[in-house]
């Protein structure tokens, strides 16, 4: 227990920090899609490491093994939403980021068990819709929606 959140005790805090880095990088004042892609890579890596782990609560035990505290933690859907929602909304202006995000979602879909795929599919479809609405031409749309695992665009 402490006064401030830390990524050691709070799964959502580290994910929020990575999402914020990507958002700042995509802001018109900064316009740094490479940094956004690097943050997206860490978000995908973070979620991949949790894709098959139990979530929602962490029991803390005393020395004898008795549960003394049950700490609620974000569930899978909450973590996926935290990692992708805001970045997805800004990614439509940068094909480099939309392509990397699609590749990351595709990678997570391969790792996640069937019961955890819905939020990933939802974010993939929302990104596809947003790019379709904002891309200037069909060729721009096709390019922005082609997954890119290397983030080169």
Task: Tell the burial category of 114 from Cβ atoms under 10 Å away from its Cβ (0-12, 13-18, 19+).
Answer: exposed
Residue, of 153 and 47, whose pLDDT is higher: 47
For the cut 80, the answer to whether the pLDDT of residue 24 exceeds it is yes
DSSP letter, residue 114? G
Q: What does the pLDDT read at residue 153?
A: 53
For the cut 70, the answer to whether the pLDDT of residue 94 exceeds it is yes
What's the pTM?
0.86
For the cut 90, the answer to whether the pLDDT of residue 88 exceeds it is yes
Per DSSP, the residues of 59-84 read EEE-TTS-EEEEEE---HHHHHHHHH
Where is 58: in which H helix or E strand?
Answer: strand 57-61
Cβ atoms of residues 97 and 31 within 8 Å: no
Residue, of 152 and 38, whose pLDDT is higher: 38
State pLDDT tens for residues 52-81: 988 878 788 999 999 998 888 889 999 999
State pLDDT tens for residues 73-85: 889 999 999 999 9
């Amino acid at each position: 227990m402490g006064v401030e959140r830390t990524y050691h005790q709070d799964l959502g805090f580290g994910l929020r920090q990575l999402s914020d880095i990507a958002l700042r990088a995509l802001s018109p004042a900064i316009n740094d899609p490479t940094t956004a892609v690097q943050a997206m890579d860490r978000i995908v890596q973070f979620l991949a490491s949790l894709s098959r782990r139990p979530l929602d609560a962490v029991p803390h035990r005393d020395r004898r093994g008795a549960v003394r505290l049950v700490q609620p933690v974000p569930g899978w859907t909450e973590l996926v939403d935290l990692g992708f929602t805001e970045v997805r909304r800004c990614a439509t202006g940068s094909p480099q980021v939309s392509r990397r995000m699609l590749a990351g979602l595709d990678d997570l879909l391969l790792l996640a068990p069937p019961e955890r795929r819905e939020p990933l599919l939802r974010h993939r479809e929302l990104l596809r819709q947003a790019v379709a609405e904002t891309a200037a031409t069909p060729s721009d749309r096709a390019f922005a929606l082609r997954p890119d695992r290397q983030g080169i665009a």
